[in-house]
Amino acid sequence: MKMNFKFGNIIRVGLTLWVLYYSQTISAQPVASEASRNLAAYERACQSSGSTNFFLDSQSWSSTAPQRSLQDLRNFVRDQRISSPRGLVSAFRQAAQNSWPQNSVLLSHSNSAQSDYVDSNNPRILMYGNGLILGATGHSNPSRSPEISQGNNQVEVIQFDSNENRYRFGLLDFNSTPPRLQEPTSCFRCHGNPPRPIWQPLQFWDHLTRVNQGTPFQRPNSIYSDLGNTSMDNWRNLLNFTGYLDHLSLRYTAATLTASPNYSQYRYATLAAVLGCEDIPSFVGRRAESMNRISRGIPHLITNTQEIISQNNDLARNFGRSGFQQVRNRILDSSLETRDVDAIAALRFLYEGREISLRHLSSRRARGENRYGYGFLSSGNVSELGAQELACYLLPEAIRSDPRLSRLLSRQSQNGSLGASATIEECQFLKTLSLEALRDTKNSETRSPIQEKTH
């Protein structure tokens, strides 16, 4: 009897604990479901805004355009039996909408390996979309030299690999049979290691080819004629291409931050910087003392970032002589919002102080200079856009790692739920989590494995 009594007590206690656990689980399910629904809605809003869709189709940012890899391109050339750059352009245009790049911009000047084959009568073609950028030429007199003939039969390729979060560079060579797609390391000499696209929007635009039906290069039976009328509005194509690179830049930036050493400890301070919280050094507490830039601080970084951006705007003010007045006006209207400049400066404080480069915030590469902000400049008439896109990349990952952050999905600004404007209370919440994550962390920080090397 005594054993039965004890056993009965154990059963009753067990049943009581199970009922308590079950009731708590049931009561927690609506909260968890609501958080999941809010996160799913946020990610849909990011997609519909174009903030996370860098696969540009012929009209707009598309969530249906597939990402293409260098291997996909190899297979496409083989399966379609493509034997020339012109055949590649034609095959792209005949493919189903969004399935391969169908956007292009033309330049009458280039500093690329194809520069010797480019002039106003033979502009360089940059096709882009689906995570790819392809550079081709169509010189009208390839027989003038073997180099021109060989260059006309090569296509330079850049792929953004979203799985490995890096750019891959290739050369598609139609001078051999069958065509070969190689990944030469010689690209690193100009594009850096790890490599990135090089694009100087303001300086290159003076060399933009004015495209219309009467231009000399619009020759029948040429690679240019196969581009179709999508090249006719070249200034808008150039704005789209710059925006395309901005999307890639922000995606690459987000990947660099999340892959950096001890990101789990710096996640909260990073979100605070992106969402516009003030006094970012206070989010890292005693760690701020060891930051390389603490002696000069955030005010210096804000001033330095704004000076660099102002220099870029000065270039735009001298742009009128090219005749592209609409482009010039667009640039002058696209100066960064103070909030975006503050976010860039705060990220520089957090990461450059740990020897992690943020030069990839721009595709501009100038020796001895750091250029910031082009990724935040993809649409100057929408404030907060750069910070908004970074939040679209960083916040869902952060919430899945720490569900407490789901409360940040309720923030609002003039751009709605995607607006990067945290409240004072939300900033204090992030500060508490940040100091908690960094407190008593003994792990020493090392250089990031994906840090940009000095050339």
- Cα distances from 449 to residues 54, 365, 453, in angstroms, run 25, 21, 10
pLDDT band at 209 (very low <50, low <70, confident <90, very high): low
- What pLDDT does 272 receive? 94
- What pLDDT does 427 receive? 93
- What pLDDT does 33 receive? 81
pLDDT above 50 (res 59): no
In the structure encoding, which two tokens stand for residue 323, read together?
Answer: 């005749």
Among 280, 437, 260, 283, residue whose Cα is nearest residue 355: 260
> Percentage of the chain with pLDDT > 70?
63
Q: Which of 235-244, 389-398, 415-424 has the highest mean pLDDT?
A: 389-398
Among 219, 253, 281, residue whose Cα is nearest residue 431: 281
Among 246, 261, 248, 263, residue whose Cα is nearest residue 394: 263
Query: Cα(223)–Cα(87) distance, rounded to whole angstroms?
Result: 8
Place of tokens 């689980």: 25
Q: Which of 143-147, 228-232, 233-237, 334-338 has the highest mean pLDDT?
A: 143-147
Contacts 24+ apart (CB under 8 A), 287-295: 287/438, 290/353, 291/349, 291/350, 291/353, 291/354, 292/352, 292/353, 292/355, 293/348, 293/349, 293/352, 293/353, 294/353
Range in 96-100, 204-208, 253-257 the model is least confident about: 204-208
pLDDT band at 23 (very low <50, low <70, confident <90, very high): low
Hey, which residues does 157 pair with through a beta bridge?
A: 134, 170
Q: Which tens digits make up the pLDDT trace of 327-371?
A: 555 555 555 566 777 888 898 889 887 777 776 565 554 443 445
Q: Which tens digits make up the pLDDT trace of 140-158?
A: 777 778 887 888 889 999 9
pLDDT above 60 (res 49): yes
pLDDT above 70 (res 426): yes
Mean pLDDT, rounded, for 237-266: 83
pLDDT band at 38 (very low <50, low <70, confident <90, very high): confident
Query: Cα(139)–Cα(118) distance, rounded to whole angstroms?
Result: 7
Neighbours of 149 (CB within 10 A): 15
According to DSSP, the β-strands at 124-129 and 166-173 are unpaired
| Mean pLDDT score of the chain | 75
- What pLDDT does 165 receive? 82
pLDDT above 80 (res 242): no
pLDDT band at 435 (very low <50, low <70, confident <90, very high): very high
Query: Cα(55)–Cα(77) distance, rounded to whole angstroms?
Result: 20
